[in-house]
Chain A
Amino acid sequence: MEVTLNHFLFVSGLLFAIGLAGVLVRRNVIVIFMCLELMLSAANLSLVAFSRFNLTPSGDADYNAQVFLFFIITVAAAEVAVGLAIIVALYRAKQTTDVTQINTMKN
């Protein structure tokens, strides 16, 4: 069976679903953050797949999508740095990374 656009979109959606399930299932805030990164990368895969399969009139791939992806990866790197700094600050304040223990704003 030849690989089509749907194959790539399905893998992308499957990765997103796994990341979503991980965010709901896990309690460790670091693993939740990893699952968020996974969901972001899954979206990247569908972006690249569309760029490769929707060719421009000259027959070349649509490189605007890949420039966009470059920005996404840059912003994601900045997001990881800030997010992990917040997690470290949280751990220093609460001595835990379990999201069920961090309930100051509950009630």
Chain B
Amino acid sequence: MEQAEVMLDLLFYIFSALTVIGALGVIVNKNPVTSAFCLIAAFIGLAALFIQLDAYLVGIIQILVYGGAVMVLFLFIIMLMDLPSEERRKFGWGAVAGGILVGCVFVVQLVRVLGDYSAGSRVMQDLPDGVASDVEQIGKLMFTQYYFPVQVVGVLLLISTIGVIVLSKRELD
């Protein structure tokens, strides 16, 4: 039991490192294709963290939707746009300094807030045995309590599909 907990903690640090390094890779690489692949690594690490939090369905959806569909869309658009000819442009140093400053201020503030947050020091309790799995409980909630929002999201997806077709259609003149 003790060994299993140490293993879980180690896995948390490994996947956190993967996520953070992937995220850093997105912003330091000049080539957009490399950025996209770093983002895929970050999303896979994030999905592993979701699964460590016993949110199996959300973790799988994260890999399928973000790691799969969304990133394929990004890479496809990058491919369409012949971008490597533009990658030699150098960074603006003012923007770099401003970005690093804002990021550091945010992290300092985060450390201060989390240091004062007493409820944050609780450890993970085991989930009770014999209850329904997360997929079953989420499905039950979605088709009872959240039935109307599910319908609204369906309409939203339809509208966005129509919007994309309208936006990407060439003007006929």
- A102 within 8 A of partner (CB): no
Majority DSSP secondary structure for residues of A touching B: helix
> Which residues of B lie under 8 Å from residue A49 when comparing CB positions?
53
Q: Is the CB of B19 within 8 A of A11?
A: yes
Q: Are A26 and B168 in contact (CB under 8 A)?
A: no
Chain A residues contacting B36 (CB-CB under 8 Å) are 34
Interface residues on B, range: 35 or more
Q: Knowing A18-B103, A77-B70, say if A48 contacts B55 (CB, 8 Å).
A: yes
Given contacts A5-B122, A15-B20, contact A61 B49 (CB under 8 A): no
| Contact of A41 (CB < 8 Å), options: B32, B66, B83, B89 | B66
Whether A71 contacts B149 by the Cβ 8 Å rule is: yes
By the criterion CB–CB under 8 Å, are A97 and B81 in contact?
yes
Most chain-A CB neighbours within 10 Å: which of B58, B80, B81, B153?
Answer: B58
Residues of B within 8 A of A75 (CB): 153, 156
Please determine whether A67 and B142 come into contact, CB atoms closer than 8 angstroms.
yes
Given A30-B77, A85-B168, A98-B89, A63 and B134 touching (CB < 8 A)? yes
13 A-B pairs in the complex with CB atoms less than 8 angstroms apart: A7-B12, A15-B19, A25-B98, A30-B77, A31-B35, A34-B36, A35-B26, A38-B42, A61-B127, A74-B153, A76-B65, A84-B73, A88-B168
Chain A 5-26, CB-CB to B under 8 Å as 1, else 0, gives: 1111111011111111111111
**Nearest Cβ on chain B to A62's Cβ, whole angstroms:** 10
- The CB with the most chain B CB atoms within 10 A, among A22, A66, A74, A80, is that of A66
The reply to whether A37 and B70 form a contact with Cβ atoms under 8 Å apart is yes
Q: B76 CB to closest chain A CB, in angstroms?
A: 9
| Chain B, Cβ-Cβ closest to A22 | B27
Q: Are B39 and A70 interface neighbours, CB within 8 A?
A: no
Binary flags per residue of B152-171, CB closer than 8 Å to A gives 1, else 0:
01001100110110011000
Chain B residues contacting A67 (CB-CB under 8 Å) are 138, 141-142, 146
Asked if B128 contacts A60 (CB within 8 A), the reply is yes
Complex CA–CA separation, A45 to B160 (angstroms): 25
